[in-house]
Structure 1
Amino acid sequence: MSFDIGSSATNTAGPIGGGTGPIGGAANFDEEEPLLDELGIHPDQIWKKTKSILNPFRVNPTFHKDSDLSGPIFLYLSFCLFQLLAGKIQFGVILGWIVVSSIFLYIVFNMLAGRNGNLDLHTCTSVVGYCLLPVVILSAVSLFVPQNGAIRFGVAGVFVIWATRACTNLMVAVADGGEEHRGLIAFYPQIKKRE
Structure 2
Amino acid sequence: MEELGINPDHIKQKTISILTFKHVDERLLEDPDMAGPFLYVLIFGGLLLLAGKVHFGAIYGFGVMGSIGIFTVLNLMSQSREIDLYRTVSILGYALLPIVILSAIGVFMRFNNPVGMLLVVLSVCWSTYTATSFFETLLELKDQRWLISYPIGLLYACFTLLAIF
- Higher relative contact order by CA 8 Å / sep ≥ 6: 1 or 2? 2
Alignment of 1:22-171 (within 5 A): 36-56=1-21, 58-62=22-26, 63-114=28-79, 116-171=80-135
Which deviations, in whole Å up to 9, do the C-alpha atoms of 1:116-167 show, x marking residues without a partner? 2321111111100000000001100122224431111011111111101001
TM-score (norm 2): 0.88
Q: One-letter code of the match for 1:153?
A: M
Question: Any conservation in 1 of the 2:45–2:56 contact (CA below 8 Å)?
Answer: yes
Q: One-letter code of the match for 1:111?
A: L
CA distance in 2, matches of 1:97, 1:129: 12
CA distance in 1, matches of 2:54, 2:73: 31
Quote how far apart the aligned CAs of 1:80 are. 0.5
**Aligned residues: percent identity?**
34
Structure 2, unpaired ranges of 5+: 159-165
Q: Which structure: greater helix fraction? A: 2
2:153 aligned with 1:185, yes or no? no
Q: One-letter code of the match for 2:153?
A: Q
TM-score (norm 1): 0.75
CA distance in 1, matches of 2:32, 2:7: 11
How many residue pairs end up in the alignment?
157
Q: Which of structures 1 and 2 has the bigger CA Rg?
A: 1
Question: Any conservation in 1 of the 2:71–2:85 contact (CA below 8 Å)?
Answer: yes
Q: One-letter code of the match for 1:53?
A: I
